[in-house]
């Protein structure tokens, strides 16, 4: 989908690209042969055995993690993926048929939250998991000037922020230390199975007390800070710390990523923390990185680990129903009517698909059904992927040669009021007139995504109205993308003319092509009432479900969303524990 404005540029660049393409053809042919070799190991269709120990519904990264752990435990494991390829929202694709050498990481775009435990257990490094830590946050301001913020360089942060406010520069190390202190509390919680709060059953009480005991070292001040973090808006929180609109705009971005809420909404401070506590394995708090080969390569690495452990993966294998017998999960029914049986079924789909469509309301407790019906799943995100003939030439930092400001987040979030206006437009039912964007240029490091001399830029943008998941809104999305591009063009005047190809993925396509209901990027909003023991429903946050034998591994469980694999690992652990010991078998109903 090239914009009209960029078609002329596309034609002009085509001639220049032709020579380069001849040389690339040989490389591409070699790569195609290699890909075909890898793909051969993925079974397609519904052929094969019909009885397994464990069946995984959905071959997104969480389903694949669950499969790898279950297979590693000795279970005969099958993954069923509806699409022609695995990965779900962690996918690398070539969206332009006339430019097959240009690949984009089509939905998710950066790594941070995958814990070292999973990387080590599944030996992902061996299977192609390779991260380039990304550079600083960069914002060029329409009124002139720019700012860079570094995840791990206090001295340079001070210099940068001083250009906008000396007071903010002095506050920055205290802010970083404050966040690091809270991350020490929140980080381990991500790997904690939430207890069944409110239940008086001895085992549940024991787990609640154990969690309280683990946090006995917390003092009054830390509890107060945690309370602030969980309840405040990112705007109010930043107002307490900083004065410069430029600094606050840059720091607010993580508070609204993927969220159906502007920076003035309570709870957005926590969203900022969720996106700030990750560590790509290099020990730098809050640092993010680019996977070589795009996010699809993360899923591919996990799939390889699953297969190496003995799991079978079938693509083009849509599941239509979870089979029940005597109230227990017994297997699945595929779209073609074939039945496959297993004593353990792990589903990694959005809660509505997993429970209301596949299990059926009549087979679930009424209050659980009501909780899933009330599950909030909006976000108004539009992903815009671009192929560029050259790097953006920012007025504030001139040049099209690769520079540090191209290597991190290239933001369009110049102030909190700017971000808030974008949200208010969407809440009032219009796509944002001036959208906000978290942009990245992975090809600053990764040479595998496009021909040499060209670049891929990924714009994660917000917001369009939340009900745009119900209709394609194709023309309006095109106009929205053009406005987004205009915003960048104001600060980098070569931007528009450098665009060779444009790929726009809106909420409707996210829902219909990828199963992201409502276009929500995490299978469910990260709002306070949907976190920890409430994710996806009270009483069922331990990766088990009201149906014995059915486990839940989607991003709609605790520690999701994001490409973190924790839901997949925890669901597999629960299933493995239950297989080993009947004493740990699920009791239903769990709420009491």
Considering only 2, 17, 54, 57, the residue that binds ligand FAD (CB under 6 A) is 57
What whole-number distance in Å separates Cα of residue 470 and Cα of residue 251? 32
Both tokens of 170, joined, read 């002095």
Least gap, CB of 479 to ligand FAD (angstroms): 19
Q: List the interface residues with ligand FAD, window 492-511 (CB under 6 A).
A: 510
Considering only 319, 369, 384, 534, the residue that binds ligand FAD (CB under 6 A) is 319
Chain position carrying tokens 């992902």 = 124
**Kindly report the CA angle at 194 between 188 and 196, in degrees rounded to 5?**
155
CA torsion angle 244 250 252 257 (round to 10): 170
Which of 578, 571, 580, 265 has the alpha carbon at shortest distance from 588?
578
Segment near ligand FAD (CB under 6 A), from 54-62, 141-149, 361-369, 443-451? 54-62
Considering only 309, 348, 407, 443, the residue that binds ligand FAD (CB under 6 A) is 348
Rule CB under 6 A: is residue 83 a binding residue for ligand FAD?
Answer: yes
Q: How far apart are the two ends of the chain, measured CA to CA in Å?
A: 54
Which of 234, 139, 180 has the alpha carbon at shortest distance from 526?
234
Rule CB under 6 A: is residue 78 a binding residue for ligand FAD?
Answer: no
Segment near ligand FAD (CB under 6 A), from 16-24, 36-44, 57-65, 167-175? 57-65
What whole-number distance in Å separates Cα of residue 245 and Cα of residue 251? 10
What whole-number distance in Å separates Cα of residue 25 and Cα of residue 3? 26
CA distances, 5 to each of 189, 485, 498 (Å): 48, 11, 10
Can you name the residues that pair with 79 across neighbouring β-strands? 56, 313
Rule CB under 6 A: is residue 329 a binding residue for ligand FAD?
Answer: no
Considering only 2, 63, 312, 394, the residue that binds ligand FAD (CB under 6 A) is 63
Residue 193 is classified by DSSP as P
How many residues of this chain interact with ligand FAD, rule: CB under 6 A? 40
Rule CB under 6 A: is residue 68 a binding residue for ligand FAD?
Answer: no
Considering only 229, 499, 563, 575, the residue that binds ligand FAD (CB under 6 A) is 563
Rule CB under 6 A: is residue 66 a binding residue for ligand FAD?
Answer: no
Segment near ligand FAD (CB under 6 A), from 45-53, 59-67, 229-237, 260-268? 59-67
CA torsion angle 348 351 356 362 (round to 10): 90
Rule CB under 6 A: is residue 81 a binding residue for ligand FAD?
Answer: yes
Least gap, CB of 500 to ligand FAD (angstroms): 21
Considering only 555, 572, 576, 586, the residue that binds ligand FAD (CB under 6 A) is 555
What whole-number distance in Å separates Cα of residue 445 and Cα of residue 402? 10
Least gap, CB of 22 to ligand FAD (angstroms): 34
Q: List the interface residues with ligand FAD, window 460-479 (CB under 6 A).
A: 460
What whole-number distance in Å separates Cα of residue 208 and Cα of residue 195? 5
CB atoms within 10 A of CB 425: 19
Least gap, CB of 215 to ligand FAD (angstroms): 26
Residue numbers of the site for ligand FAD (CB under 6 A)?
57-63, 80-83, 88-90, 107-110, 113, 318-319, 348-349, 353, 381, 383, 460, 510, 514-516, 521-523, 554-555, 560-563
């Amino acid at each position: 989908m090239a914009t009209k404005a960029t078609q002329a540029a596309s034609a002009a660049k085509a001639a220049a690209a032709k020579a380069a393409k001849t040389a690339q053809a040989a490389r591409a042919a070699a790569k195609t042969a290699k890909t075909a070799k890898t793909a051969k190991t993925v079974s397609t269709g519904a052929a094969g055995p019909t009885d397994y120990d464990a069946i995984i519904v959905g071959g997104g990264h969480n389903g694949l993690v669950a499969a790898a752990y279950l297979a590693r435990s000795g279970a005969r494991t099958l993954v069923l993926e509806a699409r022609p390829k695995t990965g779900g929202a962690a996918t690398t694709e070539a969206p332009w048929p006339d430019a097959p050498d240009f690949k984009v990481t089509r939905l998710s775009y950066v790594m941070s939250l995958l814990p070292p435990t999973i990387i080590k257990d599944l030996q992902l490094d061996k299977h192609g998991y390779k991260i380039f830590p990304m550079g600083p946050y960069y914002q060029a301001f329409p009124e002139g000037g720019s700012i860079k913020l570094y995840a791990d360089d206090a001295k340079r942060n001070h210099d940068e922020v001083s250009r906008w406010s000396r007071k903010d520069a002095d506050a920055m190390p205290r802010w970083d230390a404050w966040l690091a202190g809270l991350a020490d509390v929140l980080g381990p919680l991500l790997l904690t199975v939430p207890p069944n709060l409110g239940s008086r059953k001895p085992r549940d009480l024991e787990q609640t007390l154990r969690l309280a005991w683990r946090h006995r070292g917390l003092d009054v001040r830390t509890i107060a800070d945690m309370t602030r973090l969980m309840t405040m808006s990112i705007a109010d929180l930043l107002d307490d710390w900083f004065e410069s609109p430029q600094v606050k705009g840059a720091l607010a971005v993580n508070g609204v990523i993927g969220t159906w809420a502007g920076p003035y909404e309570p709870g957005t401070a926590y969203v900022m923390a969720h996106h700030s506590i990750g560590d790509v394995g290099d020990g730098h708090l809050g640092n993010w990185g680019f996977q070589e080969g795009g996010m699809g390569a993360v899923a591919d690495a996990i799939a390889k680990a699953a297969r190496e452990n003995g799991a079978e993966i079938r693509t083009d294998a849509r599941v239509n129903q979870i089979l029940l017998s005597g109230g227990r999960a017994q297997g699945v029914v595929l779209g073609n009517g074939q039945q496959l049986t297993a004593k353990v079924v792990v589903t990694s789909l959005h809660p509505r698909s997993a429970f209301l469509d596949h299990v059926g309301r009549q087979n679930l407790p009424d209050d659980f059904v009501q909780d899933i019906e009330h599950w909030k799943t909006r976000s108004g995100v539009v992903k815009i992927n671009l192929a560029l003939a050259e790097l953006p030439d920012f007025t504030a930092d001139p040049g099209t040669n690769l520079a540090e400001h191209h290597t991190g987040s290239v933001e369009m979030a110049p102030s909190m009021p700017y971000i808030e206006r974008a949200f208010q437009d969407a809440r009032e039912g219009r796509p944002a007139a001036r959208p906000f964007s978290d942009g990245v240029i992975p090809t600053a490091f990764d040479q595998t995504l496009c021909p040499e001399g060209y670049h891929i830029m990924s714009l994660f943008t917000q917001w369009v109205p939340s009900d745009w998941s119900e209709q394609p809104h194709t023309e309006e999305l095109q106009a929205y993308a053009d406005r987004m591009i205009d915003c960048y063009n104001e600060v980098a005047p070569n931007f528009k003319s450098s665009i060779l190809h444009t790929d726009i993925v809106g909420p409707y396509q996210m829902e219909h092509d990828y199963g992201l209901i409502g276009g929500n990027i995490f299978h469910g909003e990260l709002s306070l009432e949907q976190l920890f023991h409430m994710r996806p429903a009270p009483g069922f946050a331990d990766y088990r479900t009201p149906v014995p034998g059915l486990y839940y591994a989607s991003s709609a469980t605790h520690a999701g969303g994001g490409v973190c694999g924790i839901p997949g690992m925890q669901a597999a652990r629960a299933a493995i524990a239950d297989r080993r010991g009947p004493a740990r078998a699920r009791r239903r109903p769990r709420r009491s």
